[in-house]
Structure 1
């Protein structure tokens, strides 16, 4: 069905988004090109679409809009186009750049044109953007806020703790006294954010079901489960364990060229390292409390003499596989679960 929809595309609109405006480049009919610049707000976006409809034969059903991942700056445009039932493609800037060969020069107009070229070149491989529900956007925003507060708290407390024994006791105590109210406030703010996050997903039937399934897996706590929920868009944008493993930098890739260049498979640095770090904490929990995982870890490290980090990476993938298997089966994790025998 997706292939059939993409075959109908006749108009390609590349968009380079910035904070206040966005540049666009429209290509159609084999060689016709239209360039322009529009304000990045709801009213201007509506006018932009009306302008496109003035092009002879233009229909939203026959058009695809492409843009780079720009965080919050692109949300107004993406959500506005989604409400109009337009086809939207949102890709990382690196993927677009690497697909176009050698690139010289850079400005907003050129970037919009290059995104258009990317859409035309990769038409049959495009993956349409799936809008997130409002609750996922709110959970994502709260999660980011929580991360900021934890970082600020660490920035303040770490130097204060390290002062002990190295600087004058009186100076150290004054510093601690001055910073203590702010540190306490930040700790309370993190707790309030956690409560708000839990209240949100607990009051939503779909989010609550998915979160409970993920949390039932040993090593997957509330924080990790929330990140998986957000970044997989409730398992709509990322649907398989292997894809998610690649996304968070767990899947190893081979480096084998000809007969002389052979290197060990390594994970890619292009990844969501925040989730990878959280999963690392989950693995440490499993090694301490899950007998099966602990036995596997010891066998691979002590008997097979494998690198510890490599083994922990394999356990991370095991946890992800468990999560996606439980989500696929819509069930809580059960150590003794066996797949039903299909009927012949």
Structure 2
């Protein structure tokens, strides 16, 4: 479906987004280029699209808009274009940069032109942006807020705990008494956020079902399941276990060249390390409580003499595969589950 939509593209619009404005570069007709800069708000974006329609032969269905992942700065543009039924591509900046060869110099106008060139060069491989439901955006925002509050709590409590054994006890006690009200407030805020998050996804049948399926897999807690739900866009954007393993830095990649360069396969540092860390905690839980995983870990480490972190990485992939298999089959995780083979029709015989 996406490939069919992209075969009619004639206008390539690269956009470099900043907080207050964005630069654009429109390439069309084999060599025509149009550059400009407008404000990053709904009214200006609508005027921009109307300006594009003044170009001879322009139709929104013939255009693709491309931009880098910029977090909240790009939300207004993406949401406005999506409501107008425009084709939108949102890519990580490193993917765009690495695809264009050697790059010298940088400014907003150049970046917009380079994004437009990226769209032209990779037209047949582009993946259109799949908008998230408002519920997922809200869960994502709350999840980010929770993570910030956890960091604030750690920033306050860690130095206080370290001071206990090194400074005067009376000074340490006084510091702890001063900070206790703030620590309690942060803890209460985290609790309130957790309650709000749970209320949101339990009130939505689809999200609630997905969360229950993921939570049925040992090693997948509520925080981990929520992150998977958000970053896969309810399993619409990332649909396979291997793709998600690559996304969160679990999949190892080979490094071989000819006969002289042969290195051990390693995971890439380009990953969502937040989810990877959560999966690591899940693996530790499984090693302690899941007999199957525990036996696998001990066999690989004690008998096969494999590196512990390498084995734990393999177990992370097992957990990811379990989650995606259960979601694909719309079922809870069952130990020793065997898929039933479909009964052949008599006509086929």
1:73 corresponding residue in structure 2? 73
What corresponds to 1:302 in structure 2?
302
* Superimposed CA distance per residue, residues 264-314 of structure 1 (whole angstroms, 9 cap, x where no aligned partner): 000000000000000000000001111100010000000000000000000
Between the aligned partners of 2:4 and 2:144, the Cα distance in structure 1 is 38
Report the secondary structure of 2:130's partner residue: coil
**Alignment of 1:192 onto 2:192:** yes
Task: Give me the whole-angstrom Cα distance separating, in 2, the residues matched to 1:133 and 1:75.
Answer: 13
Measure, in 2, the Cα distance between the counterparts of 1:37 and 1:219: 48
Partner of 2:42: 42
CA offset at residue 339 of structure 1? 1.0
Shift of 1:340: 1.5
Aligned-residue RMSD, C-alpha: 0.6
Name the counterpart of 1:27.
27
Match of 1:285 in 2: 285
- After TM superposition, the score normalised by the length of structure 2 is 0.98
Secondary structure at the aligned position of 1:38 is classed as: strand
SS in 2 for 1:89: strand
How much does 1:142 deviate?
Answer: 0.4
Do the aligned residues in 1 keep the contact of 2:2 with 2:127 (CA within 8 Å)?
A: no
Distance 2:10 2:303 in 1: 60
**Number of aligned positions between the proteins:** 344
Deviations 1:235-271 (A, max 9, x none): 0000000000000000000000100110000000000
**Structure 2 SS opposite 1:334:** coil
Which residue in the other structure is 2:152 paired with?
A: 152
Structure-2 residue corresponding to 1:165:
165
Mapped to 1, the partners of 2:177 and 2:4 lie a distance apart of 67
Asked if structure 1 preserves the Cα contact closer than 8 Å seen for 2:2 and 2:128, the reply is no
Does the residue aligned with 2:217 lie in a helix, a strand or coil?
Answer: coil
Aligned to 1:227: 227
Query: 1:195-210 alignment to 2 at 5 Å?
Result: 195-210=195-210
Say which SS state the counterpart of residue 64 (structure 1) adopts.
strand
Partner secondary structure for residue 189 of structure 2: helix
Query: Does 2:129 align with 1:138?
Result: no
Asked if residue 273 in structure 1 is aligned to residue 273 in structure 2, the reply is yes
| Counterpart check, 1:249 vs 2:249 | yes
1:336: Cα distance to partner? 2.6
- The alignment partner of 2:110 has SS state of helix
Unaligned runs of 5+ in 2: 345-349
Distance 2:141 2:186 in 1: 17
Unaligned runs of 5+ in 1: none
Residue 295 of structure 1 aligns to a residue in which SS? helix
2:240 maps to 1:260: no
Task: Normalising by structure 1, report the TM-score.
Answer: 0.99
Asked if structure 1 preserves the Cα contact closer than 8 Å seen for 2:16 and 2:68, the reply is yes
